[in-house]
Amino acid sequence: QTVVTQEPSFSVSPGGTVTLTCGLSSGSVSSSYYPSWHQQTPGQAPRTLIYNTDTRSSGVPDRFSGSILGNKAALTITGAQADDESDYYCVLYMGSGNWVFGGGTKLTVL
């Protein structure tokens, strides 16, 4: 069973830049996994930030960007703001009609 890995927690200073990653317990993530990124604040439904590796969802500010860095998918937030403090989930398409979420990264802005 392939596990999708994310950092459990990360911290960034206001105005700073942070890169969250999404990897595989075995193998490398490529664009063929169609990585997408979703932001969730407590008590709220998820909100899609990035789909298909690097395409921003409608209304998402351009300080959120997606990419492949090395063997992982990455979400970079530049100019972090207080309301970016959220949980961030990646999800990968594993093929054969199967999707797997990572465990999520809790981002703190302080």
Residues near other proteins (CB under 8 A) are 34-36, 38, 40, 45-48, 51-52, 55, 57, 87, 89, 91, 93, 96-104
For other proteins, the closer CB: 73 or 80: 73
For other proteins, the closer CB: 80 or 104: 104
Least distance from C-beta 15 to other proteins, angstroms?
Answer: 28
For other proteins, the closer CB: 38 or 84: 38
Least distance from C-beta 3 to other proteins, angstroms?
Answer: 12
CA 18/CA 77 separation, integer angstroms: 5
CB under 8 Å to 71, separation ≥6 — which residues?
23, 24, 27, 28, 29
Q: Which residues of 83-107 are buried (b: 16+ CB within 10 A; e: fewer)?
A: ebbbbbbbbbeeeeeeeeebebbeb
Least distance from C-beta 88 to other proteins, angstroms?
Answer: 11
